Amino acid sequence: MTSLTTFFLSGIIGKEAFGADGDSIGIVKDLLVNAVPSGQNDPSQQLVIGVKLKIHKEIKFYSFNSFRVVKARETLNVTCSGLIELSTEEINSGLLLVENILDKQIVDLNGRKLVRVNDVRLATIPAGTFAVAVDIGIEGLLRRIGIAHSIKRVLLLFGVSIPAKFILWDDVQAIDHTNLNIRLSKSYAKLHTLHPSDLADIIEDLGKKSSMSVFSSLDEEKAADVLEEMETQTQVHIVESLPVNKAADVLEKMPADEVADILDELEEEKAELLLKEMDTESSQEVRELLEYPDNSVGSLMTTDILSFKAGITVEEVIDELRDKKPEISELYNLFVTEANDELIGTFSLRDLVVAQPRTLVSEIMKSEPVFLFDNQKVDDIAELISKYNLLAVPVVDTNNQLQGMVVVDDVVEDLINKRRTKKR
């Protein structure tokens, strides 16, 4: 027999462990790794510290220090030089691989999706035995049911191989130690680097408790971006599950039209509580949007817009944009208004960039712009945007006062939602 350097969890679960005298001690049911955080990427967090054995009808935990896993002709054997029972504290400080990792979900950051853990790879070195990676590939699943070698031999005849898919243990971390059924790869900090749309998809796929754990860890700006990307049903669940003050803080960071859409799905009493908790300016914008009928242009417009006076220079506009750092959608169309907020013209970011710094806005704006009335039907929007190839259309009231704009993103989303509703 030769000492084994690497092996898979599936290879020893259910195996008999033998003592120094060759007699059977018990059946291996699980391995316990150290889970007490003692530092980022600390190897001690993946050290196997215990083994769960079934001895007759009893389940007991013993120190893994006296156990050894060896291989003889592709067969794994587990031997033990002496049983040292673990204390309750030691057991509670560990993480059971079968119970808490195997068959559970983790996040594949590269694939930006939830995947299933099919096996765990371990390695034995002089310092001990360590969990080194989780297997998320098809080979791990085939290995579990005992046909991996046979399938690989058959595929080899056709020049085909099963690609290995592993996530290193350093990249696997529990998101909620009170609910170990779901696990995520990477730390919270690295999850936060995902695009809001990807993170929204992942949170939607998690269970309710785990989804709240991840969402609650986000800062307000990131939480607002992620919430905006979620399906309506998930948005409502998140907002209803958060404390009112926390939910209000997140909603304040979102476009007023998006907030109005969410509150429109809540019970009136809950929506009113949130509106009262939000700052006055944000709350007022949302209240005004909620007053519009569902099929009107006003219900679809955003009030996050940029308007300027005709007498200022291009350089002054650029300085103001640098100061405000607007969202991309706010730059789809820039507006020119009189003192009473009457719309008199529009200009694009291109118009701004190619003009000389001293040029007046009045010289680059397009007078008599295409616009929509806030009380028009939503059905009128798509035709107008398509006809004039616009990214955003200004919305005015009956006095020609600028109220907001409708962006093409929202129009497309509205049309998609209508089609989904029809199919149902």
Distance between CA atoms of 207 and 275, rounded to whole angstroms?
28
Distance between CA atoms of 249 and 259, rounded to whole angstroms?
12
Q: Which residues contact 126 (CB under 8 A, 6 or more apart)?
A: none
Distance between CA atoms of 383 and 93, rounded to whole angstroms?
63
For the domain bounded by 307-423, which CATH number is listed?
3.10.580.10
Distance between CA atoms of 350 and 83, rounded to whole angstroms?
76
Q: Which residue has the tokens 């039209």?
A: 257
In the sheet that holds 128-135, the strands lie side by side as 6-8, 119-125, 128-135, 166-168
C-alpha dihedral sign at 280, 286, 290, 291: positive
| Residue 276 CB-density burial (10 A; 0-12 exposed, 13-18 middle, 19+ buried) | exposed
Distance between CA atoms of 377 and 406, rounded to whole angstroms?
12
The bridge status of strand 24-34 relative to strand 48-55 is antiparallel
Indicate the helix (H) or strand (E) that contains 388.
Answer: helix 379-388
Query: Which amino acid is present at 223?
Result: A
187's tokens: 């730390």
To which CATH superfamily is domain 2-171 assigned? PRC-barrel domain (2.30.30.240)
Q: Which residue has the tokens 């945007």?
A: 385
C-alpha dihedral sign at 323, 226, 287, 346: positive
Within 13 A of 192's CA, how many CA atoms are on the CB side?
15
Q: DSSP secondary-structure letter at 376?
A: S
Nearest CA to 114 out of 167, 55, 73 is that of: 167
User: What are the boundaries of each domain within the chain?
Assistant: 2-171, 192-291, 307-423
* The listed CATH number (1.25.60.10, 3.30.1450.10, 3.40.50.970, 3.40.50.1860) that belongs to domain 192-291: 1.25.60.10
In tens digits, what is the pLDDT along the chain, a chain of 424 residues? 345 578 999 989 999 999 988 899 999 999 999 876 544 455 556 899 999 999 988 999 999 999 999 887 777 889 999 999 999 998 988 889 998 888 887 777 666 677 888 999 998 888 889 988 888 888 877 777 776 667 767 767 777 666 668 887 776 654 443 444 444 444 455 666 778 888 888 888 777 777 787 788 888 999 999 999 998 889 999 999 999 999 999 999 998 989 999 999 999 999 999 999 999 999 999 999 999 988 889 988 999 999 999 999 999 999 999 999 998 889 999 999 998 999 999 999 999 999 999 999 999 999 989 999 999 988 888 788 878 888 889 999 999 999 999 988 777 666 555 544 444 4
Are 192-291 and 307-423 the same fold in CATH?
no
Q: Is 100 helix (H, G, I), strand (E, B) or coil?
A: helix
